[in-house]
Amino acid sequence: VTSFDLSAFREIPVLHEGRVKPLESFARAYLLAFYGKSSLPDMSAAAWLAELLFDPEKDYQRDIFNIPNPDVVNAIGLTWRDEHRYSFDELSKAFDSYGSTIKAIDAMDDARRTPPQRQLIELYSKVAAYVLISKSLSPTQLPTVFRIIPPQWQMDGDTWLSPWANILEGHGSPQSAAYLELWKKMATAYAHNDAAAWQKYAGDARDTAYELAGSHASLFRQKLEVFYLQADLFNAALVIYIACFVLLMIFFLGNYRVFYTAATCLMPLGALLHIGGIVMRITIMGRPPVATLYETTIFVSFIAVLLSLLFERKRRDATSLTVGSIIGSVLLFISTRYAADGDTMEMLVAVLNTNFWLATHVVAVTMGYGCSLVAGTLGHIYLLKKLLRPKDVTAHANLVNTMLAVTLIAAFFATLGTILGGIWADQSWGRFWGWDPKENGAMLIVLWLLWQLHGRVANVLSPANFASTMVLTNVVVVLSWFGVNLLSVGLHSYGFTNNIAGNLAAFCGGEIAFLVITRALLMGRHGQKAKT
């Protein structure tokens, strides 16, 4: 059955989490939630969804549920396994035996629950969602999430129905009845392992769905989303950026020009894949590229890579290329952690649903982030070069000039984005400035960059001190970008995130430690020279 052609099945539209998406996205989101990955070792997400819908008894025996905490496993009387994955059949029996325990935990206030108890309730919710999906094509009055019936009659465009809700609520039509008949034929073909019939009826079901949906779904966008998911361009770009960093390190250690040449060829390829993924997301969602924390990481990393490529073309000393490979790798790796939470094309809250301001204020602010991180990373490289190659005065001077130019660009975009944000706030909330944590964070970056520029242009900051403050720029940007979200106050509630305090503290501590150690070593070297 897994050898079936699933291309048409993947493209069938479904309303899920507020937006119309292909079944491919639906399947990946749930498999990621249940299994921890977007595919199984022996089958794709779409193949898994087809099995769950058309042969649930078989899927009930698969080790689908990821339970990484042994305390949760022990709490429901199961035996811990190294691979920590369990089947629905096992969990169903365990929940039957420990039902009273689960009910007692569910009745507790969340603040009183221990971490294992919270994970147990979360697991129970996942199992319940799994059961609802498996019964989507069976007679049931349960509120299933499998909303594949497009709006009929005069229903609102957001009112898609599951198969049985369509029948029970009396919203059917001859067209929707014909559509459901195609699903019945798909089930028969699946049960008889008839690949030809499956391909025909799945294709007919897809085409019928888009005829019913009309303007509520775009086949082009659904096909593009399936391609986007399968191409996985951001991970491909991540691999290329890491490869470029390795090549550049070999070049610096042995001065082998061929490795630098290879890196200069690979880096633009990574950037093309990177922007290709961003453009596809813009097309699929019909909005500008930056609206969520996940999108800021992929966009900021691209801006950093692009700026590094532009400066590398002028300098041709591998320094800017190194900066781009570092920032591109780190931020795209961070983005994979956000992607692990499920569908990254989530619907926006009302305050963000304004394409003009998303394309101006948010894009300008995030461009400021990217340019600032490039300047901050150049500060690291300057201090390292002063330690490792103290006599390379020309390279040091060039690096300071590059830092100054990048800081000017960063200050321009940060200031522009902050002003545009104030205008947007005035239109949305009736005030230009309200000392909101996000607003304060944006202003902090602007003031920090302007202070550095004035200090350097006026020769108050020496090259070494200018580079040192640049190192701290990374701390300022990260705290303004992610840190203010931990406060969970203010009108920018759409930007809140959890469980990053430890990572932020580690990053800031590491940056400060780097600065203290490098400056101490430089001061020690100057002290020795003074004695001699």
Three-class DSSP labels, 259-300:
HHHHHHHHHHHHHHHHHHHHHHHHHHHCCCCCCCHHHHHHHH
Q: Which two tokens stand for residue 189?
A: 């073909």
Q: Give pLDDT, residue 432.
A: 79
Neighbours of 443 (CB within 10 A): 18
323 and 376 Cβ atoms separated by less than 8 Å: no
Q: Give pLDDT, residue 156.
A: 60
Neighbours of 430 (CB within 10 A): 8
Residue with tokens 């990217």: 370
Low-confidence ranges of the chain (pLDDT < 50): 490-491, 493-496
Q: Give pLDDT, residue 440.
A: 83
Cα separation, 468 vs 519, in Å, equals 8
Cα separation, 432 vs 70, in Å, equals 51
Q: Give pLDDT, residue 391.
A: 85
Residue 218: helix, strand or coil by DSSP? coil
What is the model's pTM?
0.89
Q: Give pLDDT, residue 172.
A: 67
Q: Give pLDDT, residue 499.
A: 59
Q: Give pLDDT, residue 55.
A: 95
Cα separation, 285 vs 346, in Å, equals 9
Q: Give pLDDT, residue 292.
A: 84
Give the C-alpha distances (Å, rounded to integers) separating 372 from 316, 364, 408, 415, 474.
21, 12, 9, 12, 7
Q: Which helix (H) or strand (E) holds 529?
A: helix 501-531
Cα separation, 98 vs 127, in Å, equals 14
Cα separation, 117 vs 124, in Å, equals 11
Please, what sign has the CA dihedral across residues 272, 222, 17, 68? negative
Q: Which of 174, 182, 301 is nearest to 237 (CA)?
A: 301
178 and 211 Cβ atoms separated by less than 8 Å: no
323 and 308 Cβ atoms separated by less than 8 Å: yes
Beta-strand relationship, 63-66 and 85-87: antiparallel
Residue spans of alpha helices (H) in 340-392: 355-357, 363-388
Q: Which of 305, 333, 294, 313 is nearest to 244 (CA)?
A: 305
Q: Give pLDDT, residue 531.
A: 56
Q: Which two tokens stand for residue 338?
A: 């956000």
Q: Which two tokens stand for residue 489?
A: 């106050």
Question: Whats the size of the chain, residue-wise?
Answer: 532
Q: Give pLDDT, residue 493.
A: 45
Q: Give pLDDT, residue 494.
A: 45
Q: Give pLDDT, residue 64.
A: 96
84 and 104 Cβ atoms separated by less than 8 Å: no
Cα separation, 319 vs 76, in Å, equals 55
